[in-house]
Amino acid sequence: MTTTVHRQAPPAGREPRPARGRSGLFHFIPERVRRAGLPYLLLLPALFFELIVHVIPMVLGVVMSFKELTQVYIRHWWGAPWSGTGNYRVAVRFNAPIGRALLDSFLITCAFTVLAVGLCWLLGTTAAILMQDRFRGRGVLRAVFLTPYALPLYASVIVWAFMFQHDNGLVNHVLHDQLGVTGDRPFWLIGDNSFWSLLVVSVWRNWPFAFLCVMAGLQNIPRELYEASAIDGAGIWQQIRRITLPSLRSVNQVLVLVLFLWTFNDFATPFVLFGRSAPAAGDLISVHIYSASFVTWNFGTGSAMSVLMLLFLSLVTAGYLLTTNRTRKNRA
């Protein structure tokens, strides 16, 4: 951000300055302020919309989290009684049912996110590296790999839901009827297995994005590096470890962060797969908050939980950017 601003600031004294004392609408403002102020003035509309679209709803959400907001008050929600930190205390009292359920959901979401992001990255990077060299049919394969990402979310997830059905689903047909891997037909949409079915669907949906990003990153690595290293006797693994991965560093930094935020916040996938009341093992935090607020009409508690989630995500993001940037600087 900062670098772009510096770059775009016009170097002083390049343009001929208008003569001092010329009459103008804003002549009473000192020249220096006028020059420095223009960029900020140009930013105003963007700032205005940023306020309306992002900041104000967020602030309202924070305000709501301190109110006892149920259906009784939604007509005049600003008149709802203040509950102080009551909503937060309910949300973090982990030995009571509501706090306990939130904590469980949070832990499930963390485990799910780590696995899903890891697998997405691994699959995406592997596929991108394998398809780095030209071969016949590469374009077709690329297109095929990208389809899950291009399909409408609802349609693709509902197809997965059908495939995971206990009695008639494709998954059980293959695992149980054809291969005989499982003794009984397992349930995938209820009970503990729902974690794994959610993971499969999420990775299936998101890995093409990792593939796409890494593929773009690979285009920027000069071929000569590989040729030179091959002459020096480097094998495939060494090339990947010493050339490919270090060159992908900045791409990966953004990719992992974005994947993390998307996966952690994912609402649509679990909601379509499990409906509004998800089994405990697939109870991701966004759906959990949705049912804690919208479905049970307790918007104050829901807001408090959302604020806690926002804080957590901001902390993780800030920590991540700090550490990755520091290591990058150290290396440079």
Partner 1 sequence: MSVRARTAIGAVIGATLLAVLPGCGGGTSTGDSGGNSHPKTLTYWASNQGASLEDDKAKLTPELQAFEKQTGITVKLEVVPWSDLLNRILGATSSGQGPDVLNIGNTWSASLQTTGALLPFDDQTFAKIGGKGRFQESALASTGASGKTPTAVPLYSLAYGLYYNKKMFADAGISKPPATWDELVQDGRRLTTGGRYGLAVEGANVSENVHHAFVFAKQHGADFFDASGNPTFTSPGAVEGVKQYVDFIARDKIAAAGNAEYDQNQSIQDFATGKAAMLLWQAAGPNLQKHGMKPDQYGVAPVPVQSGTPGPGQNIDSMVAGINMAVFKNSQNLDGALKFVQFMTSDAEQKKLNGAYGSIPPVKTAAQDPAFSNPELTVLRNTIATSAAPLPQVPKESQFEELVGGAIKDLLADAAAGRPVTTQSVQQRLAKAQQQM
Point out which residues bind partner 1 (CB under 8 A). 18, 24-27, 34, 38, 41-42, 44-45, 48-49, 52, 71-72, 74-75, 77, 96-98, 101, 165-167, 185, 187, 189-191, 275-277, 279-280, 291, 294-298
Nearest residue (CB) to partner 1, 97 versus 233: 97
User: How many Cβ atoms from other residues are within 10 Å of residue 41's Cβ?
Assistant: 9
Nearest residue (CB) to partner 1, 265 versus 291: 291
In whole angstroms, the minimum distance from the beta carbon of 178 to partner 1 comes to 18
User: How many Cβ atoms from other residues are within 10 Å of residue 38's Cβ?
Assistant: 10
CA distance 227 to 233: 10
In whole angstroms, the minimum distance from the beta carbon of 138 to partner 1 comes to 40
In whole angstroms, the minimum distance from the beta carbon of 25 to partner 1 comes to 6
CA distance 263 to 109: 9
Nearest residue (CB) to partner 1, 65 versus 113: 65
Nearest residue (CB) to partner 1, 263 versus 298: 298
CA distance 300 to 224: 59
In whole angstroms, the minimum distance from the beta carbon of 62 to partner 1 comes to 17
DSSP string, 139-197: HHHHHHHHHHHHS-HHHHHHHHHHHT-TTT-HHHIIIIIIS--SSSPPPSSSSTTHHHH
In whole angstroms, the minimum distance from the beta carbon of 206 to partner 1 comes to 25
Helix (H) or strand (E) holding 137: none
Nearest residue (CB) to partner 1, 218 versus 280: 280
Helix (H) or strand (E) holding 86: helix 86-92
The string over 221-260, giving b where at least 16 C-beta atoms fall within 10 Å of a residue's C-beta and e elsewhere, is eeeeebeeeeeeebeeeebeeebbeebbeebbbebbbebb
- Closest by CA to 195, choosing from 278, 292, 287, is 278
Nearest residue (CB) to partner 1, 20 versus 329: 20
Nearest residue (CB) to partner 1, 81 versus 246: 81
CA distance 21 to 173: 86
In whole angstroms, the minimum distance from the beta carbon of 129 to partner 1 comes to 39
Nearest residue (CB) to partner 1, 142 versus 185: 185
- Closest by CA to 288, choosing from 304, 186, 311, is 304
218 within 8 A of 103, measured Cβ to Cβ? no
In whole angstroms, the minimum distance from the beta carbon of 219 to partner 1 comes to 38
In whole angstroms, the minimum distance from the beta carbon of 277 to partner 1 comes to 4
Nearest residue (CB) to partner 1, 46 versus 179: 46
254 within 8 A of 170, measured Cβ to Cβ? no
In whole angstroms, the minimum distance from the beta carbon of 166 to partner 1 comes to 4
Taking the CA atoms of residue 264, residue 151, residue 161 and residue 278 in that order, the dihedral angle to the nearest 10 degrees is: 30
